[in-house]
Amino acid sequence: MAAAGAIGARKTYGEGDTAVQALDGITVNFERARFTAIMGPSGSGKSTLMHCLAGLDQLSEGRVFVGDTFLDSLSDSQLTELRRDQIGFVFQSYNLIPTLSAAENITLPMDLAGRKPDKEWVDRIVDTVHLSDRLSHRPSELSGGQQQRVAIARALASQPEIVFADEPTGNLDSRSGSEILQFMRGAVDNLGQTIVMVTHDPGAAAYAHRVVFLADGKIVHELSNPTADVVLDTMKYLGD
């Protein structure tokens, strides 16, 4: 059973001679309770794929779905609700609203929906990411790693169908980065969360259950339960 996926996804930017195929017919499923990494060089279409899956961008052709909903049938406000209720986001940078405290940032999607957060669940998440003593702090009072943990807590707090992470460790030092990745893997293994992560760091990809390799808008390779070395080798191989 897939938490999200794409069927024949194409995305074209521009028209005529200058047209660029960002996605060139991608069909992929992301299984529930699995941690999937999407890898590929710059311009391979990995971010575009994620944006389309998350309802932030629209396909030129083909369909994407989250849970049992096909996104192409949704209006803008339905997409907004979908993002709010069924999708969690972790970005590389600018992940938090600077004027809100850590706690407020974590419950932001639920506050936007006007829903009461599930207190037990939120507490459990907060414990898992070791943020209990930082809840009243503003983002500017937190380290980069702590900020990213808050972002993950926010993504998980509303128990979404799927979490998309776009280079979540890109701006962090390696220690904070591996901490974040451990949390993400833990969320999948222990809480049954589905996570899709875009990265170009083989070390990060090694935390995933599965790695999907993209190049020129196509899926060119897949690995299961990879190690960093295998990923690196695969990248070298694909790069040649």
Partner 1 sequence: MIRVTIRSLLAHKWRLVTTSIAIVLAIAFLSGTQILGGILDDSIRGLIGNVYSGYDSVVRSPDVQEAAFGEFRAPISAEAVVDSSGVEGARLAYGVVESANIQLIGKDGKVTGGGIGPPTLVMNWIDDPMRPGTLADGRGPTANDEIAIDFKGAEEQGWELGESIEIATQEGAEQYTIVGFVGLGDEANKTAGAQPVFFTDEVARSTAKLGDQYNYVAVSAKDGVSQDELASQLAEANPDLQVLTGEAFTEENQDAVAQFVGILTSVVSIFGFIALVVSTFIIYNTFSIIVAQRTRETALLRAIGARRRQVILSTLVEALIVGLVASVVGLVLGALLASALVTLLSSFFSLETGIPSIGASVIVNSLLVGLVVTTLSAIIPAIRSSRIPPIAALSEVSLDKSGMSWSRRVWGLVFLFAGIALTALGLTSTLKPELYYVGAGLLAILISVAVVLGPLLARPAAMTIAWPFGNRRGNVTAVLASENAARNPRRTAATAAALTVGVTLVSVIAVLATSVKSSVDDEIQGAFGGVDLIVSAGNFSFLGIPSEVSDSADEIDGVDIVSPVGFTFMRILDESLESESDTGAEEPAEDDVPVIGIPDDAPSGEDVVSNAIDPDTYFRIVDMGDLQGDPETLGSESLIARQSVAEDNGWDIGDTIPVYFAATGTQNLTLGLTYTDALGPGDDFYLPLETMRPNSLPGFDIDFADYIKLDNDADRDAVVAELDALVADRPDVTVQDREEFIESQTEFIDVFVNIVYALLALAVIIALIGIANTLSLSVMERTKEFGLLRAVGMSRGQLRRTIRLEAVIVAVFGTVLGIVIGIAFAAALSSALAAGEPGLVTFKLPWTQLAVIVVLAAFAGVVAAIIPARRAANMDVLAAIATD
Site string for partner 1, 18-57 (x = CB under 8 A): ---------------------------------x--x-xx
Answer for which of 12, 29, 93, 159 binds partner 1 (CB under 8 A) is 93
Among 84, 137, 200, 218, binds partner 1 (CB under 8 A): 84
**Member of 11, 46, 83, 210 binding partner 1 (CB under 8 A):** 83
Do the Cβ atoms of 54 and 6 come closer than 8 Å?
no
CA 125, 191, 199, 111 dihedral sign is negative
Query: What's the one-letter identity of residue 61?
Result: E
Question: How far is the C-alpha of 58 from the C-alpha of 66, rounded, in Å?
Answer: 14
187 vs 223, which CB is nearer to partner 1? Answer: 187
User: Looking at 42, 73, 75, 77, which residue binds partner 1 (CB under 8 A)?
Assistant: 77
Rule CB under 8 A: is residue 60 a binding residue for partner 1?
no
For 125-135, give one letter per residue: b (16+ CB within 10 A) or e. Answer: bbebbebeebe
Interatomic CA distance for residues 34 and 139, integer angstroms: 29
The site that binds partner 1 (CB under 8 A) totals a number of residues, namely 32
Q: Identify which of residues 79 and 220 has a Cβ nearer to partner 1 in the complex.
A: 79
